[in-house]
Amino acid sequence: MANVFISFLGTNDYLSCTYYRDNFEEKDVRFVQEATIKYCCSDWDGDDRIVIFTTREAKIKNWLDNGHIDRNTDKTKQCIGLKNCIDNLSLNSQVQQIDIPDGHDEDEIWKIFKIVYDQLHSSDKVIFDITHAFRSIPMLAIVLLNYAKVLKNVSLAGIYYGAFEVLGTYHQVSKQPLEKRRVPILDLTTFDQLMEWSFAVDRFLEAGDAKAISGLAKKAVAPVLKESKGRHRAAAAVKYVADALDNYTKTLATCRGLEITSSVQKLKKELEKSKDVDLVKPLHPLFEHINKQVGFYKGDIIRDGIQAAKWCLEHNLIQQGFTILQEILITKFIIRTSGDPTDKNQRSIAASAISICQQNIPEDKWTGVAGRFPEITKQYNTLYKKEVNLVEVLDGLTELRNDLNHAGFREQPMKSDVFASKLGQLIDKAENSFGLDLPDKTIPAHKS
């Protein structure tokens, strides 16, 4: 893993200024890159790289010495180019100048994309100075860096911009004394972080996967928690919500039926505690959205299970939705018989009794666990005959779930595009059949 500083050099005849950020300042420099390199790269070693991209014109005018014409004398202006300015910093890191096309059309823009991308190596930590990047280059570079994050595992350590325009126009600044030409170096890294948050939120909303959000949230608050030794209230709130959200989504992704209610209650509790604290900005609307979604959970294992199946359907966790819905409805009937929902035999009998009820199989034909425990089987049979609609749901779930669990290796497998609609129909039918008929008793939420 190496550090890489990348920047694009323009063609203007830049004015000398003092560039500053926080307690750092670099006086009397023409190129902002000289300042940002000194600010960011002073302690880099020989494995690290400083890469400056230039068009042919920019190379002549600003990378090399004496590239401009004095407007007053029409003679070559004596000025040091960026190459020698960087060399004079006596850095240990490598310095490279890379030629790029002007970017006048789409073909040239794609060529720039490839040239820059090829300069990034696996796991590089990138610092990007966008000050003199022209036309579409800043946007192109941000897209490129996010592309490289995925394919080359690079990370963005900083985006910097020398805000020369705060001083006025070039003509106005040229008339100012050097001591008044103070240009702030802005850190724009948060905009890339916002893009990462956007991707993470989209991943969560579409797929119910909170891994990226959890990772970003913990990354954002880790320095604060470390400095405060865990006592920073807002940072701690973000971490606890991130942990609870990650646990909730993993609970559904792995079909942990006994933990659904407890994981939801924990998440709701942490979201409530976070309402009156100053959070990382992107988290405010996200937490509000999550709070609305988990508001449908009421603390009852059966209703929460059906809601979890709906969550799975909405987030394309189709196989999990089938599994949770079937197992939660079986659990409902086991509770109604005062049985133990975690008992393997009880669950087998309850499942077998579905076919017995649907096919009117006589008692002398009962096999397996149903035949070994006929009295319990009769209890389920009696219940099932009273709740025909729910039994039809369970029967439909069995066939579809078997198809999924066996990966379609059957004589007539279902087409992949029908499972979601079938699950939605079965959830609707279960809810309509369920009505206000809560179980007579519930089992305590599982404590993880």
Tell me: the pLDDT tens digits for 113-136?
999 999 999 999 999 998 987 667
Higher-pLDDT residue of 179 and 204 is: 179
Report the predicted TM-score, pTM, of the whole model to 2 decimal places: 0.74
Q: Which of 419, 226, 246, 437 is nearest to 321 (CA)?
A: 419
**Residue extents of the structural domains in the chain:** 3-187, 189-295, 317-448
Question: Does residue 237 contact residue 277 with C-beta atoms inside 8 Å?
Answer: yes
Q: What is the 3-state secondary structure (H, E, C) of 232-249?
A: CHHHHHHHHHHHHHHHHH
Is pLDDT of 438 > 90? no
Distance CA 34, CA 55 (A): 19
Question: Does residue 3 contact residue 49 with C-beta atoms inside 8 Å?
Answer: yes
Is pLDDT of 67 > 80? yes
Which CATH architecture group holds 3-187? Answer: 3-Layer(aba) Sandwich (3.40)
Give the per-residue pLDDT at 234.
76
Is pLDDT of 439 > 50? no
Work out the pLDDT band at 206, boundaries 50, 70, 90: confident
Is pLDDT of 26 > 90? yes
**Mean pLDDT (whole number) for 233-237:** 79
Q: Over the chain, what is the mean pLDDT?
A: 89
Give the per-residue pLDDT at 341.
93
- Specify which residues 186 forms β-bridges with: 161
**Mean pLDDT (whole number) for 255-269:** 95
Q: Which of 298, 301, 309, 308 is nearest to 258 (CA)?
A: 301
Cα separations (Å) of 268 from 11, 90, 162, 378? 56, 56, 44, 40
Question: Does residue 330 contact residue 302 with C-beta atoms inside 8 Å?
Answer: no
Cα separations (Å) of 448 from 43, 190, 203? 47, 36, 26
Give the per-residue pLDDT at 309.
96
Lowest mean pLDDT among 20-24, 193-197, 384-388: 193-197
Work out the pLDDT band at 195, boundaries 50, 70, 90: confident
Give the per-residue pLDDT at 126.
96
Distance CA 406, CA 385 (A): 30
Distance CA 184, CA 166 (A): 8
Is pLDDT of 60 > 90? yes
Is pLDDT of 19 > 90? yes
Give the per-residue pLDDT at 437.
43
